[in-house]
């Protein structure tokens, strides 16, 4: 609280000015004119700071509010940065290429829909990128489907389902790392909690694809996949030691060991694999960790005479600590706005408006889904669909005694995987253009994407898979309805 001047109480109308300004800036500035999100969020922070100053807060008060909010997110931001190093070191060490290699081995045209789904699940899980998976393996599978005169919309839906299954729960995915940061939980708690809705959706999708996708043709590996496999085999030495980095992460997650030391250990092992097994120099391996892996680095391992095909380039040219700096900047800009907004009371007013219809856990989950979906449709951006509902509803979850991982799971259920089902979003346009099937045509078959929302509401209504805080962690305010909480 300011000591230099008297602080006036902010009226409801004035408190909402920064929020509506932000929404207008993002919808028009980003949605229509494509202006940088970071600049728009900083502009929104300036508007919020203007309101705070008008009400009597000093610059020191505003700065302290921003610093306090950012300080709470720094451990999560550090993990976000380390993910970039993890991808770079695992790529040059051969871990990710090996997982992709054996994932491609299981493709079977006999069960085209099911294998399309499973392969893109695995590739996306290993690489953390839905777009990369759809743009490489997905395109190959669509070629197979066209040659077989199969249902292209169904295959495209299976590809989108698999690509976003991995993107949603992979620790290498930017959205999977961003959601717990903005919701206020940790990465592995977030991933584990998402299994409540993601696994039932996975089982449902796999079942539908199994019974719908039997083609009765001979099992023959697609030519494009053969080229990718051959190229990966030429470029990387594949052996069981390459599995050690993900085993370290998995073992640590099961034992609930500290995340950051585990990630650093897995990065170090990836670098050792790059030098000892793949034949790269230490300098090149460290460069891949910092700047990301690039196919031009193969020359360092004596493989400069081998042509790297475009599909393999798309898969391997990723990672690096610096690749996450854009995400870190987005976090800093977003929380600068959020910290300033906390002084004006705008969030309290907005939450109070939303809370009128919230009577318990089920209605809170429904409100989160509706808010997230609205942001996706109005801004066409998946990251904003994670950020804005988190800022609006984080404290409501806490006051109702609900763990923040419920919030992070719900915004992923209604944001990350729903984005490619909306025709005018970046993801919807990309998937339609890449796979050659319109968004609305593949939508009914993208079962993994929309089933998560359905299961989220079923679980909330039945009070299953809802994580709660200890009683002493609750704040006074909203109380859950015992009948629905």
Distance of CA 333 to the CA centre of its chain: 18
Can you tell me the mean pLDDT for 74-80?
A: 82
**Domain membership flag for residue 273:** yes
Supply the pTM of this predicted model: 0.79
Using 50, 70 and 90 to split pLDDT, how confident is the model at 481? very low
User: For residue 4, is pLDDT > 80?
Assistant: no
Tokens of 391: 């800022």
Residue 11 lies in a domain: no
Would the pLDDT of 62 be above 70? yes
Residue 472: pLDDT band (50, 70, 90) is very low
pLDDT tens-place string over residues 191-209 = 999 999 999 999 999 999 9
> How many Cβ atoms sit within 10 Å of the Cβ of residue 26?
23
Q: Mean of the pLDDT values across residues 236-243? A: 94
| Residue 260 within any structural domain of the chain | yes
| Mean pLDDT of all residues belonging to the chain | 85
> What pLDDT is attached to residue 421?
94
pLDDT at 256 > cutoff 90: no
Tokens of 331: 């976090």
Number of Cβ atoms within 10 Å of the Cβ of 398: 19
- Report whether 246 contacts 95 (CB < 8 A): yes
Distance CA 138, CA 149 (A): 16
What gap in Å lies between CA 70 and CA 65, rounded to an integer? 9
Question: Can you tell me the distance from the alpha carbon of 256 to that of 187, in angstroms, rounded to the nearest whole number?
Answer: 12
Domain count, the chain: 1
| Residue 202 falls inside a structural domain | yes
DSSP H or E stretch at residue 164: helix 152-169
**CB atoms near residue 94 (< 10 Å):** 26
Tokens of 309: 């095909």
* Tokens encoding 145: 């489907």
Q: Band the pLDDT of 2: cuts 50, 70, 90.
A: very low
pLDDT in tens, 206-233: 999 998 865 444 456 667 788 888 999 9
The C-alpha atoms of residue 250 and residue 240 are separated, in whole angstroms, by: 16
The whole-number average pLDDT for the span 464-468 is 93
Q: Which residue blocks in 278-381 are alpha helix, DSSP H?
A: 282-291, 310-316, 325-344, 346-355, 361-379
Is 196 part of a structural domain of the chain?
yes
| pLDDT on residue 473 | 45
Residue 221 domain boundaries: 76-324
Alpha carbons 482 and 485: distance in angstroms, whole number: 5
Please tell me the least confidently modeled range out of 99-113, 366-380, 394-408.
Answer: 99-113
Instruction: Assess whether pLDDT exceeds 50 at residue 91.
Output: yes
Residue 474's pLDDT is: 46
Contact call for residues 25 and 320 (beta carbons, < 8 A): no
Cα–Cα distance, 344 to 340 (Å, whole number): 7
27's tokens: 């919808």
DSSP three-state, residue 214: strand
**Residue 289, domain member (yes or no):** yes
Of 107 and 20, the one with more pLDDT: 20
pLDDT band for position 341 (50/70/90)?
A: confident
Confidence of residue 3 (pLDDT cuts 50, 70, 90): very low
What's the pLDDT at 192? 92
Secondary structure (DSSP) of 376-413 = HHHH--HHHHHHHHHHHHHHHHHHTTB-HHHHHHHHII
The residue among 211 and 454 whose pLDDT is bigger is 454
pLDDT at 283 over 90: yes
Query: Rounded distance, CA 8 to CA 20, Å?
Result: 21
| Integer Cα distance of 213 and 225 in angstroms | 19
Question: CA 129, 132, 135: angle at the middle one, nearest 5?
Answer: 145
Q: Does 307 score more than 80 pLDDT?
A: yes
Selection from 329, 324, 253 nearest residue 81 by Cα: 324
Looking at residue 381, its pLDDT comes to 75
C-alpha distance from residue 251 to each of 243, 269, 442 (Å): 12, 14, 37
CA dihedral 327, 328, 331, 335 (to 10 degrees): -160
| Alpha-carbon torsion (59, 62, 65, 67), positive or negative | negative
Q: What is the C-alpha separation between 268 and 241, in angstroms, rounded?
A: 13
Average pLDDT over residues 113-142: 86
Residue 70 included in any domain:
no
Residue 91 is assigned to a structural domain of this protein = yes
Q: What is the mean pLDDT of residues 273-282?
A: 96
Helix axis angle for 346-355 and 382-399, nearest 10°, is: 80
DSSP string for 61-94: HHHHHHHHHHHHHHHHHHHHHHHHHHHHHHHHHT
How do residues 7-18 score in pLDDT, each as one tens digit? 777 777 888 888
Q: What is the DSSP code string of 430-468?
A: HHHHHHTS-HHHHGGG-HHHHHHHHHHHHHHHHT-S--B
Helix, strand or coil for residue 221? coil
Residue 457 to residues 167, 197, 362, 370, 414: CA-CA distances in angstroms?
A: 21, 9, 7, 11, 11
């Amino acid at each position: 609280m300011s000591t230099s001047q008297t602080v006036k109480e902010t009226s409801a109308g004035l408190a909402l000015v920064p929020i509506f300004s932000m929404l207008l800036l993002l919808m028009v500035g980003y949605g229509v004119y494509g202006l940088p999100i970071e600049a728009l969020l900083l502009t929104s922070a300036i508007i919020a700071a203007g309101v705070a100053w008008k009400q009597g807060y000093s610059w020191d008060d505003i700065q302290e509010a921003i610093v306090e909010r950012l300080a709470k997110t720094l451990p999560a931001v550090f993990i976000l940065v380390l993910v970039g190093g993890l991808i770079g070191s695992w790529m040059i060490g051969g871990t990710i290429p090996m997982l992709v290699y054996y994932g491609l081995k299981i493709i079977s045209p006999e069960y085209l829909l099911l294998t399309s789904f499973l392969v893109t699940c695995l590739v996306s899980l290993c690489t953390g990128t839905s777009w990369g998976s759809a743009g490489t393996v997905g395109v190959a599978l669509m070629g197979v489907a066209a040659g077989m005169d199969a249902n292209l919309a169904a295959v495209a839906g299976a590809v989108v389902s698999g690509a976003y299954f991995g993107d949603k729960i992979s620790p290498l995915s930017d959205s999977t790392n961003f959601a717990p940061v903005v919701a206020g939980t940790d990465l592995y708690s977030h991933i584990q909690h998402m299994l409540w809705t993601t696994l039932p959706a996975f089982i449902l999708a796999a079942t539908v694809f199994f019974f719908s996708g039997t083609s009765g043709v001979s099992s023959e590996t697609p030519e494009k996949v053969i080229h990718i496999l051959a190229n990966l085999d030429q470029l990387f030495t594949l052996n069981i030691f390459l599995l050690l980095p993900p085993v370290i992460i998995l073992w640590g997650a099961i034992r609930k060991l500290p995340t950051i030391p585990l990630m650093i250990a897995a990065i170090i092992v990836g670098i050792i694999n790059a030098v000892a097994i793949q034949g790269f120099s230490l300098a090149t391996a460290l460069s891949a960790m910092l700047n990301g892996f690039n196919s031009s680095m193969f020359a360092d391992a004596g493989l400069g005479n081998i042509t790297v095909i475009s599909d393999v380039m798309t898969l391997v040219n990723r990672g690096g600590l610096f690749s996450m700096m854009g995400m870190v900047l987005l976090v800093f800009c977003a929380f600068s706005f959020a910290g300033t907004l906390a002084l004006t009371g705008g969030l309290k007013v907005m939450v109070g408006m939303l809370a009128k219809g919230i009577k318990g856990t089920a209605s809170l989950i429904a409100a989160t889904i509706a808010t997230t979906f609205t942001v996706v449709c109005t801004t066409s951006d998946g990251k904003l669909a994670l950020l804005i509902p988190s800022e609006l509803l984080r404290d409501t979850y806490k006051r109702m005694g609900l763990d923040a991982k419920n919030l992070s799971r719900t915004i992923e259920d209604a944001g990350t995987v729903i984005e490619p089902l909306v025709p005018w979003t970046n993801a919807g346009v990309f998937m339609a253009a890449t796979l050659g099937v319109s968004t609305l045509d593949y939508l009914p078959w993208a079962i993994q994407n929309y089933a998560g929302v359905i299961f989220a509401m079923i679980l909330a209504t039945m009070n299953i898979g809802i994580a709660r805080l200890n009683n002493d962690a609750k704040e006074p305010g909203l109380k859950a309805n015992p009948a629905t909480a």
